[in-house]
């Protein structure tokens, strides 16, 4: 059995009085593709943000690669208004900023593409390599880390070759067509050297053909970079084709989990997506 790379336990995220994610328990086995689906506003992106450190959860624990990267319990004001299902037992707190979590080996993309628009394709990838730099500012400014700099450049070039974007190397990121911007965003995430790649709606705004290509691309990079992938998606074809396990979220609650077939036939899922049939 594969070991679990990422595990969330009782993740609850409450904004004011609204519980956006309630008692989310996810296990992501190494080397697999896991998906999180759900209707609009189900709390998928919030869950993503909690995992990557963008939000501090109201309650619960996130473990990545055997290390607790985020843990919290309802405190002070939140203690009174806390509305989540899960009551906490141990009062621990672990806070990590997103940049630290990225350096631990978890990289993400964004639902609405967030490239460094005014910089070139190459620079976009090169910047992602900066997170593992060893030289300090002065050493780097005086070019005393030539070997390191050269390695960063070579790796960035190699990565662009691997994912077939090298012909656009010196173009501005914003000048790329939409599909390639998506690809570049994934490349940039890969440049940080992740074990786990989180994709937030990678097929958003793509036509069926592009979606099909993306599915192939995701499987390709999963093999060539030996990745574990966790994705949020709306396109059911994409999710059903490539994911090994699917979690379904609705109104912040996990309503189903299992393989594509199991989830597709689950009455709760059908109800969440299609609404209740009237008499």
Partner 1 sequence: MNSKRNTLLTTISFVLAIVFLYWLSANRLQHGMLVSVLQKGVIFALVAVSMNLLNGFTGLFSLGQAGFMSIGAYTTAILIIPVKSLDGVYYMNGVHPFIRAMKMLIADSPAFIQSVFPFIALLLGGLLAAGIAAIVGVAVLRLKSDYLAIATLGLSEIVRAIFSSPNFDQITNGSYGLNKIPNFPEMAWGLIPSLLTPFIVVGVCIAFILLLINSSYGRAFKAIREDEIAAEAMGINLFKHKSMSFVVSSFFSAIAGGLLAMYMRSIEAKTFSIPLTYDILLIVVIGGIGSVSGSIISAFLVTAAKEWWLRFFDQPLFFGDWQVPLFRTGFRMVIFSILLMVVVLVYRKGLMGSNEFSWDRLLGRFKRTGKSEGGRA
Under the rule (CB under 8 A), what is the footprint of partner 1?
A: 52, 54, 97-100, 102-103, 107-108, 110, 114-119, 123, 126-133, 135, 137, 140-143, 149, 152, 188-189, 191-192
Task: Kindly tell me which of 33 and 189 has the beta carbon lying closer to partner 1.
Answer: 189
Measured from the CB of residue 141, what is the shortest distance to partner 1 in angstroms?
Answer: 4
Measured from the CB of residue 256, what is the shortest distance to partner 1 in angstroms?
Answer: 29
* Cβ(39)–Cβ(237) below 8 Å: no
* Cβ(233)–Cβ(39) below 8 Å: no
Task: Kindly tell me which of 98 and 258 has the beta carbon lying closer to partner 1.
Answer: 98
Measured from the CB of residue 91, what is the shortest distance to partner 1 in angstroms?
Answer: 27
Task: Kindly tell me which of 117 and 161 has the beta carbon lying closer to partner 1.
Answer: 117
Element holding 150 (H helix, E strand): helix 146-162
Element holding 5 (H helix, E strand): strand 4-15
Among the listed residues 200, 195, 220, 194, the one whose alpha carbon sits nearest the alpha carbon of residue 113 = 200
Burial class (CB in 10 A: 0-12, 13-18, 19+), 66: exposed
Task: Kindly tell me which of 118 and 278 has the beta carbon lying closer to partner 1.
Answer: 118
Measured from the CB of residue 199, what is the shortest distance to partner 1 in angstroms?
Answer: 12
- CA distances 110 to 45, 113, 114, 199, 200, Å, are 9, 5, 6, 7, 5
Task: Kindly tell me which of 142 and 207 has the beta carbon lying closer to partner 1.
Answer: 142
Burial class (CB in 10 A: 0-12, 13-18, 19+), 170: exposed
């Amino acid at each position: 059995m594969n070991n679990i790379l990422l595990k969330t336990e009782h993740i609850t995220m409450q904004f004011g009085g609204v519980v956006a994610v309630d008692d989310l328990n996810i296990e992501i086995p190494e080397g697999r593709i896991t998906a999180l689906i759900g209707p609009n506003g189900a709390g998928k992106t919030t869950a993503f943000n909690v995992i990557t450190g963008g939000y501090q959860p109201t309650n619960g624990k996130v473990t990545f690669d055997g290390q607790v990267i985020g843990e919290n319990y309802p405190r002070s004001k939140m203690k009174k208004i806390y509305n989540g299902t899960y009551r906490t037992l141990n009062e621990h707190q672990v806070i990590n900023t997103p940049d630290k979590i990225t350096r631990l080996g978890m990289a993400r993309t964004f639902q609405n593409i967030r490239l460094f628009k005014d910089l070139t394709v190459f620079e976009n990838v090169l910047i992602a390599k900066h997170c593992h730099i060893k030289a300090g500012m002065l050493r780097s400014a005086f070019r005393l880390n030539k070997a390191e700099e050269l390695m960063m450049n070579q790796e960035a070039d190699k990565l662009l070759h691997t994912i077939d974007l090298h012909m656009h190397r010196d173009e501005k990121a914003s000048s790329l067509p939409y599909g390639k911007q998506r690809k570049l965003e994934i490349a940039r995430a890969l440049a940080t050297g992740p074990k786990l790649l989180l994709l937030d709606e990678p097929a958003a705004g793509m036509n069926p053909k592009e979606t099909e290509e993306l599915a192939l691309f995701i499987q390709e990079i999963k093999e060539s970079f030996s990745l574990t992938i966790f994705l949020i998606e709306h396109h059911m074809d994409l999710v059903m084709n490539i994911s090994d396990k699917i979690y379904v979220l609705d109104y912040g609650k996990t309503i189903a989990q299992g393989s594509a077939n199991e989830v597709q036939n689950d009455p709760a899922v059908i109800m969440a997506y299609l609404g209740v049939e009237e008499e």
